[in-house]
Amino acid sequence: MFRVKPGEILKLRKIDPAFKGEKESEAAAREDTERYTRKLAGQQALLYAENKHSILVVLQAMDAGGKDGTIKHVFSSVNPQGVRVGRFNRPTVLESAHDFLWRVHPHAPANGEIAIFNRSHYEGVLVERVHKLVAKATWTERYRHIRDFEALLADKKTTVLKFFLHVSKDEQLARFAQRLDDPERNWKISESDYTERNLWDEYMEAYQEAITATSTRDAPWYVIPSNHKWFRNLVVSQIMADTIADLGLAFPPPSVNLADIRRKYHAAVREAKQGGKKP
């Protein structure tokens, strides 16, 4: 129900950011969330071992929408050596001198990896559109470039999952207040939190159009109601775990002759015992 079907015209006003399904509380959702995060950990081990597929996770949201929290909670159980996080802030001078996807492609996942984009190539049709940094003809054409880029990744066995963490304007303000009151989160406060908030309607329009234009069969968008952080974590972990499970991954066969290795092991055990040593 959270997936935006290809060709579907997204209307964010019709999606309640406070939706929480059948679960009434974080406590009620805890067992399912833990089950899905464990499943995700198991699937990531298969992904890493098989080394034939990769996963790209795109996280987009308004400020305080929960991108960092999603990474922290949903991926807390996976092996860090198989996961990379790419963060895309304002383009550097060098990056701006190239096409808008130039800085993105090197961060795409290799075989066996999960790559998480905390913001992404979609900044080129969101921030740059809203602030009129590029002409309408430019950001409109970028939708095609994005679809082609993600189709290329899919052709090379990269599963692309894109999540828009949908929070209400009131919830965003409440989270800003928490940052002000918590010394450990003061560092997250910036002037742009409030200047960008003044452009809320423009951003919603930009998100609607970008998601509508780029949600495809091979690179779908999911709009996740995210006012309740625990519900966000539940849904994202379930989608992640179930999607990777559908790939039908398997551990590869051993690269050595196990019978030969067992003989060597038992020989080493006998030698250790004869020498009075533990193997």
pLDDT of the residue at 242: 96
49-73 pLDDT tens trace: 999 999 999 999 999 999 999 999 9
pLDDT at 189 over 90: no
Work out the average pLDDT over 150-176.
97
Q: Cα–Cα distance between 102 and 97 in angstroms, integer?
A: 9
**Residue 14: band (very low, low, confident or very high) from pLDDT cuts 50, 70, 90:** very high
Name the DSSP letter for residue 247. T
Q: Mean pLDDT, to the nearest integer, of 196-219?
A: 96
Give the mean pLDDT of 148-155.
98
pLDDT of the residue at 276: 58
Residue corresponding to tokens 């921030």 = 127
pLDDT in tens, 113-131: 999 999 999 999 999 999 9
Q: Residue 279: is its pLDDT beyond 60?
A: no
pLDDT tens by residue, 70-115: 999 999 999 999 999 998 888 999 999 999 999 999 999 999 999 9
Q: Is the pLDDT of residue 197 over 70?
A: yes
Quick one: tokens of 144?
Answer: 């095609």
- Measured in degrees and rounded to the nearest 5, phi and psi for residue 88 equal -120, 105
Say yes or no to pLDDT of 2 above 60: yes
pLDDT > 70 in the chain, percent: 99
Query: Which strands, in side-by-side order, build the sheet including 114-118?
Result: 3-4, 221-225, 158-166, 54-61, 114-118, 83-87
Residue 278 clears pLDDT 80, i.e. is over it: no
- CA 218, CA 110: separation in Å to the nearest integer? 17
- Start-end of H helices in 108-219: 127-130, 136-155, 169-181, 192-197, 200-214
pLDDT of 153 strictly over 90: yes
Q: What is the pLDDT of residue 93?
A: 94
277 pLDDT band (50/70/90 cuts)? low
Residues 6 or more apart in contact with residue 231 via CB below 8 angstroms: 19, 20, 21, 23, 29, 225
- Interatomic CA distance for residues 85 and 57, integer angstroms: 9
Mean pLDDT, to the nearest integer, of 174-191?
Answer: 85
Tell me what percent of the residues of the chain surpass a pLDDT of 90. 80
pLDDT-based confidence at residue 13 (cuts at 50, 70, 90):
very high
**pLDDT of res. 49:** 96
Looking at every residue in the chain, the average pLDDT score rounds to 93
Looking at CATH, the fold of the domain delimited by 3-274 is given as Rossmann fold (3.40.50)
Query: Which pLDDT belongs to residue 256?
Result: 85
